Amino acid sequence: MGKLFAVILVIIALASAYPIATHVFVLPEDISTHGHAIDDQLSDTMAEAGFSFLGAQLVLAFFVWKFAERKAGAKLSNIPGGAKLMVAIAFIIVGAEVFALGVLGQKAWANVYFTPPRADALQIQAQAGQFAFYFRYPGADGKFGAIHPDKIDEGNQNYFGLDPANDVESRDDIVTGELAIPVDREIHLLMHAKDVGHSFYVRELRIQQDFVPGLDLSVHFTATKIGKYEIVCTQLCGLGHYNMKAYLNVMSQDDFEKWLKQKASEQ
């Protein structure tokens, strides 16, 4: 039965690796300026993990094939090199992987988090609440009006709790349910949570960031391809979590300005 185990394990290992090797399951095409570094890191890791996976499974299968249920009295032996060799291999191979992935690969992370947004990045505010995203553009004055949680009133579509009566800066703010952005322009997304934790995840943008109540964070990115993409919530936020979605609409600069004007007139 040891041989059966070996055969089945080889089949499982190869079948598991096949869809990966043939790129059946890949993320949708990257539309960001920083995403290629993440994709490269992902495929490097895939190569190393795939090598470790196949190596270990095939060796396990081979050893079980060869050494299971031998004749009684078969001579026992130890692998040349013994435990020392195993430890050395682990340190050298895994040490190299840790070094390669850990040290060199931090660039992809640094691209996203250690470079500040450009001064001329377009600021947009995103607010996540159960179970919808809303977005706010600062309008002509370039300033966002302050948020007053006590003034939030979904019935009157005051999703952000603005106070236009007393707050001049909020009067020209444009609030929308979709995130429209111009292509090839850096966006600085200011993130605010209205109630509980949520997350902002756009697969094509290679961006995922939690909304933390009480802690306003921000992300910045540049989209390079016109199109409509799904924004999903990835932090469990309550009963409507599965349905908490919005769209990212990447437009040409002209279309974006038109869109913004139209939205401003609808406010």
Partner 1 sequence: MQEVSAQQAHVHAPPETFLRKYVFSLDHKVIAKQYYGLGLLAVCIGMALSWLMRFHLVWPNAHIPGLELLSKAGAPGGVITPEYYLSLLTMHGTLMVFFVLTNAPFAAFGNYFLPIQIGAEDMAFPRFNMMSFWVTFAGFIVLILAFFIPDGPPIAGWTSYAPLSAVGKDAGPGMAWGMNLWGISIALFCIGSLLGSLNFIATTLDLRAKGMTLMRMPICTWAWFITACIALLAFAVLLPACILLILDRLAGTSFFVPSGLVISDRLQPHSGGSPLLWQHLFWFFGHPEVYIAILPSMGIVSHILINSMRKPLLSARVIIYSMMSIGFLSYMVWGHHMFVSGMNPFSSLMFSFPTLTITIPATIMTLVWLGSLYGSNLRITSASLFAIGFISMFVSGGVSGFFLAQPSIDIVLHATYFVVGHFHMVMGVASIFGVFAATYFWFSKITGRMMNETLGKLHFWLTFIGTYCIFMPFHYLGLVGNVRRYSSFVDDFMAPWLGWHKFITISAFVTGGAQLIFIFNLIYSRFKGAPASENPWEATSLEWSVPSPPPWNNFGGKHPVVYHDPYQYGVNGAKGDYIMQDSPEPDPVGS
CB of residue 255 vs partner 1: minimum separation in angstroms? 23
Number of residues that bind partner 1 (CB under 8 A): 101
Answer yes or no whether residue 96 interacts with partner 1 by CB under 8 A: no
Terminal CA-CA length for the chain: 73
CB of residue 264 vs partner 1: minimum separation in angstroms? 26
**Interstrand relation of 245-251 and 179-182 (parallel, antiparallel or unpaired):** parallel
Q: Which is nearer to partner 1, 183 or 217 (CB)?
A: 217
Answer yes or no whether residue 175 interacts with partner 1 by CB under 8 A: no
Answer yes or no whether residue 104 interacts with partner 1 by CB under 8 A: no
Answer yes or no whether residue 154 interacts with partner 1 by CB under 8 A: yes
CA atoms within a 13 Å half-sphere pointing along the CA-CB vector of 63: 9
The site string for partner 1 over 13-42 (x = CB under 8 A, - otherwise) reads ---x--xx---xxxxx--------xx--xx
Q: Which is nearer to partner 1, 69 or 141 (CB)?
A: 69
To which H or E segment does residue 58 belong?
Answer: helix 35-67
Among 14, 21, 29, 106, binds partner 1 (CB under 8 A): 106
User: Could you give the angle at the alpha carbon of 108 between the alpha carbons of 209 and 45, nearest 5°?
Assistant: 105
- According to DSSP, residue 98 is labeled I
CA distance 219 to 209: 8
Sheet of 227-232, strand order = 179-182, 245-251, 227-232, 198-202, 207-211
Answer yes or no whether residue 199 interacts with partner 1 by CB under 8 A: yes
Answer yes or no whether residue 70 interacts with partner 1 by CB under 8 A: yes
Q: Which is nearer to partner 1, 139 or 233 (CB)?
A: 233
User: Cβ of 25: how many Cβ atoms within 10 Å?
Assistant: 7
Q: Which is nearer to partner 1, 77 or 265 (CB)?
A: 77
Answer yes or no whether residue 130 interacts with partner 1 by CB under 8 A: yes
CA distance 225 to 30: 9
Q: Which of residues 204-263 bind partner 1 (CB under 8 A)?
A: 206-210, 212-215, 217, 230, 232, 234-243, 245
